[in-house]
Structure 1
Amino acid sequence: MQKILLILFILISQISFSQDLKQSFDFANELFAKKDYTGAGITYRRVIYFDKAEIYRKDCYKNIADCLYETQQFEEAADYYELAFFQQKTDSAKAEVIFKKMSCYLILNNFEYAEIELLNLPSNLNAEQNNKKVFYSAVLNFSIEKYDLAKTQFLSLIDSTNTASKKKIEQLFIKNEKINKLNPRTARIMSMIIPGLGQFYAGDIKNGTNSIILTLGIATWGIVTAVKSTSPFDVLVTAAPWFQRYYMGGYKKAEQIAINEKKKRRSKVYNQILDEISK
């Protein structure tokens, strides 16, 4: 009799625990549907921790990955998409997980891993997924500066009858080519010759003006003070480190300004391309 009662107790406990686990899983789904991704992620993790029988665990990995993605925790999201990949039963579902993982790597500028994931895509993609593959490939190629290939791929995503969008894409890539003419090394050399000139070349008038005023101001102060002083050499020795500091800082800054400006312009072109593709 005691053995029967013990068995019944264990069965009832297991049923109760299973119900609690299901309630937690359902609650996590509700939070996810309400876009409470932080709360949903925590609850899904709790389900995984207590789900020793792995009843719901396999369904939680992708959900956790999606929660992390929505909260911009892309590195950890990629890890969970990796776990989710092996739980998918169809090639179509696996492909969707790979696309999300690729998106994480592209956002993180981890282009090598993104390219690996692109190669991992199944061969039997549907039409929508094929277009998505071309899109991600175009984004990747633009990011690694394979602009000609990216241009061809972006253009292939636009309907052949939409000549206006195709022309716009062509113009944006011409604009992108012109951005290459902005050379950070040239900006550095120009500011070495004339302080502030490299900043002007990069389009930063404010920093260019500041560089000219500070560098020439210190040089002028040093020379004038030295001429009037009874110990001109001591004055020049005192002024020299300050001049060197602002002079060297100026041409180094000119190079970095040109690099940043180049990235800024390219980012603007890139976003305009994406806007045109999404129409």
Structure 2
Amino acid sequence: MQESPGRAPKLVELTTANPPGIDPRRVQLWVDDDWDNAPGRSLLIMHDGQNLFREQDAHYGIWGIVQAIRRLRSLKAIPPTAVVGVWNSGENRWLDYMPMIHPSESRQWQAVMAEHKALGELPRSTLYGDYIVSSVIPAALEHAGAGTGDCRIHTMGSSMGGLISLDLFIRYPEIFRGAGCLSTHWSAGGSRMIDYAKKGLSSWKGSDGRKLYFDFGSSGLDGDYEQYQNQLDGHLISRGITYGTDFLSHRFPGAEHSEGDWRMRLEVPLRFLLSS
């Protein structure tokens, strides 16, 4: 039965197995109308899931992902899409989302480690990625009645969520067809993070149907990202990765580091990543 356009999205709480080192968290699934047996359907794994669907769950406002998908579906711009919102773990969010670059050389990493020195923990992005692939995706596909070969799987997030989306795209090329990285928090590692991205993407030749999307604003925290994004964009183009087909990178003048700004431009990455 289809949802009424004016109603709040119907969410399913998924049960997932949490491996050692990964904090328990809520995982919510929304399934688009006409998902069943639709050709080219997509499964979108999104991070900071509490900020996606409902105002009462969000800390700083919601992305309005369901509304954006419904608009694009009404235009026949994207295929039927299911969305998985993986909530963050709160105080350990940074540890979950930080890719394993040389963390001791990152000043932000050192600051976080000062807070976690009693734990002596390294970033958990490898564990988090394994959790997404081995637990979250199977649970979502089982509930939605699909197999891994029946849909295209993408991932998306903002800030640190953009970093972990890129990390998943790099480490699981056989699973993720695309990654949307909004306001990617390059400042977490600076030039070391760009070096990591270049190395991680070195085997990607493009022209294989996989897609990468990046963007950033010009105000507030986002104002620091352009210098790093330009480095990565130039590197990808120099390697023959086709701008506009294999990857897209947008600057949004005046946009800040906020859910409201990401909501305003959300249809841009959705169109690019999910369209055939």
Q: TM-score, normalised by structure 2?
A: 0.25
More strand by share: 2
Q: TM-score, normalised by structure 1?
A: 0.25
More helix by share: 1
Q: Name which one, 1 or 2, has greater alpha-carbon Rg.
A: 1
